[in-house]
Structure 1
Amino acid sequence: MKKVIIAIFALGFSLSGYAQTHLTLEQSKSLALQNNSKVKNSELEVGAAQEIKKEAYTNYFPKVSATAMGMQAIDPLLEMKMQGGNLPVYDGNPANLGNATQFAYMPDVNIGLFNQMALGYINVLQPVYAGGKIKTGNKMTDLNIEVKQKLQKLSENEVLLKTEQQYWQVIAIQEKQKTLDNYIKFLDTLYNQTNTAYKNGVIIKNDVLKVTIKQSELKVNKTQLENGKKLSLMQLCQTIGMEYDPEIILDDNLNDLSVPQTYFVSNSAVLPNRVEYQLLEKAVTGAKLETQLKKGDYLPTFGVGLSGYYLDQFESNQKGAFNGMVYASLSVPISDWWGGKHKLNELKYKEKIAQNTLNDNKGLLNLQMEKAWTDLTEADKKVHLIEETLAQTIENLKVNQDSYNNGLIQLSDLLEARALKAETEDKLIEAKSQYKTAITNYLLVTGR
């Protein structure tokens, strides 16, 4: 029976371990790109832009239209009245034609046309020249696709940065939990020592209570960290499109920190790689295309076409008629130029505005890259400074521990020294997490 119970517990631990999901940073980023709704929507925007391009390309082809119509009028649309009378009877002799003596009477005749009819009509028009609007329109759809693709990249970068920030936030909380556990173990050991000393009459009960109070504080801190980790992990799962599971384990740590110089690049060299800079360039191109497209409204248009129709009045003694024609059309706007000149001038001003915006934002993008580099180097210095401080707090705790063991200082001094070490450890974890995020941010703003 004991063997069975042991096997059941072993199986339970095995299944529990198997149910755990391990995630690395790269896996989290990959899941975010696959599942995040913002990234998905940006992909759909690209697909929609590609369909617009296909639609615009059809403007090169002939335009075909067909019409069919049937009607039944209350009264004929066209009525003709022929007056009757006596008509001379021709006896076959031309000499008697002018002096006919016999006549035939013909009554008045009313003729109604288009009382009922059916009409079928088809027209084919091939544009030959449309002021360059078709070509320019297709260029604009190409530009639209490129812009949507750039915006998709921006969405991906935003989601990746958000994923990394949330990922390192969870890692930081996990590291703080380890630090807190070590602190709790220290207090547990100290409590056993002080409680034994109190029972032996070496110290007063107040010292035991000091340790107990500190233990209660750490229990509260532990609960807060557990809740913080849960919320942070839920937030990360939401971002990467993964169902929340409290058993998820993040495998990375904060110990592998490369020096900032590993990531340094020249701002001028990477500026053209910035998606934001490329979008500004596309805005200048788009403004020029807008001017070209509008100019096409004021240029002649020329096309050739073919038309054909079939008309049937449904008369018993008449057959339907078919006819067709080939034609050419030329349209020249004249009066539109009166206001068109000012409209084109307006668009020229907008071209200059787009160019000025590009020039201005070049400086802002350089400033952003410079700030990201400054933030990275500051975060690195902060890590090193806190590491030095931590080494000092460790030495301070050791000195206080020895002094307390030798009865040279009070318990409160030892507790203060240990609390200072825990506080510095937490600050170092935060600094390392910020440094990791600063690396990601610098890579993003330098187009990598």
Structure 2
Amino acid sequence: MKTIKYIILIFIFFFRIEGSAQEPMSLHQAREMALNKNEDLKVAAKQIEKAEAHKAALRTMRLPSISANATGIYQNKNFEIEMTLPTQMPNPVTGELEPNIMINPSTGYPVIGPDGNPIFNMYAWLPLEISLSGAYLAGVTLEQPVYTGGKISAGNKMAGIGKQMAEDNLELQRLNTIVEVDVAYWTYISVNEKVKLAQKAVDMLAVIVGKARNAHDVGMANRNDLLKAQVEYNNARLNLQKAQNGLQLSRMELCRVTGLPFLTEITATDTTVKVTSPVFSEFNGETVSERPEYKLMQKNIELQEQNIRLARADFLPTAGIQAGYNHIGGIEFTGTDFSNTSLNVLASVKIPLFHWGEGIKKIKASKIEKEISELELNKNRQLLMLETEQSRLNMQLAWERIQMNETAVEQADENLRITKDNYEVGMETITEVLIAQTQWQQTLNEFIDSKTDFKIKETIWMKTTGRLSY
């Protein structure tokens, strides 16, 4: 029984150690962990591997292909044919064989039968039996395309463009992942700050409650003042609990994004949200040409161009060469085995002549598809430029919000200090102290939110201007 207890205690001990594992983390580390874990990035990387394999496969279409083939036949019944053949006889003068035709003695001309053909003096009877019960054909074939109307070239170029698009898509997924992890990281830092602020508010209100209770005990304050202080104290404790719950949720979200277990305790190297003044003069003249979204749309137009070539290639001449080395055997002709081994070469040319305008219509459809892609590129380019300008304005507004909140924090600190001093000398009521305390906490919360919002807006702006690196 004691052994079982020891085992249980050891298990609980190790479980607590695992559950409370500490993970130090900076923003750079969080980005690296997220990039290594993100499933979308893994899928995008597989898409590149797929495109590379497809490109390599299409490249081999220019090379000759070699294949082996074999065919066997079994037939339980033989072919039986009886043939009657005309004969020939040697000419004693020339020594050559001449048809043994019957000559009419009176006319000296060949005798003509009812079918209109000459009648021979003698015919040969040839019974023929063919057996295919064990016949077979085996050989090796080499095929080499000579001209395919540009289809192979277009296919190879499309495969190359597809690989480039897969790489641009991977870059896009990386940027999206960085934005996601930045949002999770700075949210966790800001909520952690709010927990500390809420705890500080609880401690400050505990002091106020203590002073109100002492004043009430000596008859210098009524019970209503004590109750007001206690109500605010309870609200502060509730807000602290809410902030702690929010901290747990934000920590779990950061664990999810970075691929850590949900029970991992994260120790962030950034204890507060620190911001630096942006240089607004750098915002002018931004371009969207380096964004992966724009590159993907450009590559799509190049893809449509090659698609036009493919459509045209279906209606252009094609040429190819085929060489084979074949052996046939297992055939019997009237009891005699027949076999043959031969080398053959075949050249073929196919020229499409008339298809009721199918080729022209397909090429026209492919060109229209390309024009649609070009129109979408122009439209989306303007949208990307608008998004870039909007991100710049949002970050500028977020910075101005920080500036205003810094002033508001200074005023709230001063207001709380003066109100407390006046309360100590009886010039302010506890109600004014509680109001000042609430305003002070709200102002600091707003200041924390504004800094967090600025960091997120800054990351989004760097993404939209092509400056976000990892």
Fold shared per TM-score above 0.5: yes
SS at match of 1:272: coil
Deviation (angstroms), 1:110: 5.3
Q: Does 1:149 align with 2:167?
A: yes
1:370 to 389, 393, 405: 389
SS at match of 1:260: coil
CA shift digits 1:328-383 (9 cap, x unpaired): 11011112372211221222222222222222222111111000000000000001
User: Aligned residue pairs: how many?
Assistant: 412
Contact in 2 for aligned 1:60/1:134 (Cα 8 Å): yes
CA shift digits 1:277-304 (9 cap, x unpaired): 1112112111111101111111111111
Aligned to 1:308: 325
Contact in 2 for aligned 1:254/1:433 (Cα 8 Å): no
Deviation (angstroms), 1:255: 4.6
The residue type equivalent to 2:457 in the other structure is A
Q: State, as a whole percentage, how many aligned pairs show the same letter.
A: 26
SS at match of 2:289: helix
Contact in 1 for aligned 2:138/2:327 (Cα 8 Å): yes
Q: Partners in 1 of 2:310 and 2:229 — Cα distance?
A: 80
Shift of the 43–260 alpha-carbon distance from structure 1 to 2, 3 Å rule, reads same
Unaligned runs of 5+ in 2: 1-16, 86-99, 101-123
Shift of the 339–253 alpha-carbon distance from structure 1 to 2, 3 Å rule, reads same
The residue type equivalent to 1:214 in the other structure is E
Aligned to 2:157: 139
Deviation (angstroms), 1:404: 0.9
Aligned to 2:375: 356
Aligned to 1:124: 142
Deviation (angstroms), 1:108: 8.4
Aligned to 1:89: none
What do you get for the CA RMSD once the two structures are aligned? 2.3
1:67 to 47, 69, 81: 69
1:247 to 265, 272, 280: 265
Deviation (angstroms), 1:204: 1.7
The residue type equivalent to 1:376 in the other structure is M
Deviation (angstroms), 1:266: 3.6
Q: Partners in 2 of 1:262 and 1:232 — Cα distance?
A: 31
1:200 to 215, 218, 231: 218
1:274 to 281, 284, 291: 291
Deviation (angstroms), 1:146: 0.5
Deviation (angstroms), 1:155: 0.9
SS at match of 2:263: coil
Aligned to 1:81: 82
Unaligned runs of 5+ in 1: 1-14, 85-97, 99-105
Q: Does 1:112 align with 2:114?
A: no
Which has more helix, going by share of residues? 1
The residue type equivalent to 1:408 in the other structure is M
Contact in 1 for aligned 2:130/2:331 (Cα 8 Å): no
The residue type equivalent to 1:178 in the other structure is K
The residue type equivalent to 2:293 in the other structure is E
Q: Partners in 2 of 1:367 and 1:235 — Cα distance?
A: 31
Counterparts of 1:154-169 in structure 2, within 5 Å, are 154-169=172-187
CA shift digits 1:86-135 (9 cap, x unpaired): xxxxxxxxxxxx9xxxxxxx998452332331111332110011001101
Q: Does 1:34 align with 2:53?
A: no
SS at match of 1:313: strand
Shift of the 108–378 alpha-carbon distance from structure 1 to 2, 3 Å rule, reads closer
